[in-house]
Amino acid sequence: MSLKVAKEIIGKTQYYIMRSHERAPLSEYQKGWIEAAIDFEGSLSLFCTYQKKRPGTPEAYTAYRPVLQIGTTDPFLPQKAKDILIDGYICPWNPSKPNLSKRYNYVLSENIALKRVLSQIKLALKDTQRLLLLEVIDYSLSERLAGHGGSDLWNGNWEKLPRIKEIWAEMRLLNGGKTIE
């Protein structure tokens, strides 16, 4: 791929992400459909990764990323979620064990698109997780993290944000994980 083509793709991607918050609000039917899909087949998570210090990087860091996933063995549900929400992608998963079925996951992890969706819906079973993710997203997009529209959060500054760590621990418990000391 030439540099010109790569720059063109990046430009279109940035424009697409910037425009995702300008989409029309979800209809009542779409809201109900997405609410049910998330409550019964979805998950709202704050993924955590630790990056060790490598040559050429200033320091080791921990990064957190808010993610919405809707997954089943039937490709209809993830595809319908993608059709309604437009943003995100579908990721097929082929299990390594023969007794497990192929799984299809709809994944949405872009902050502006996630905020657009989560701020329009109310969940019966996972509303606490929804509110916590909205807090993380609002924090990441806030002016308090001046510079790169919140990208500083992904560059290792989470250690300076104790509330994000608290939210991560709370989300972990709400989603059935263990406590971390």
Q: Which domains does the chain have, with CATH numbers?
A: 3-174 (3.10.28.10)
Q: Are 80 and 42 in contact (CB under 8 A)?
A: no
The CA distance from 57 to 42, in Å, is 35
The whole-model pTM stands at 0.75
Residues 107-136 pLDDT 10s: 998 888 899 999 999 999 999 999 999 998
Torsion sign (Cα): 29, 114, 110, 131: negative
Residues 57-67 pLDDT 10s: 667 667 778 99
Neighbour tally for 42: CB within 10 Å: 26
Q: Are 93 and 102 in contact (CB under 8 A)?
A: yes
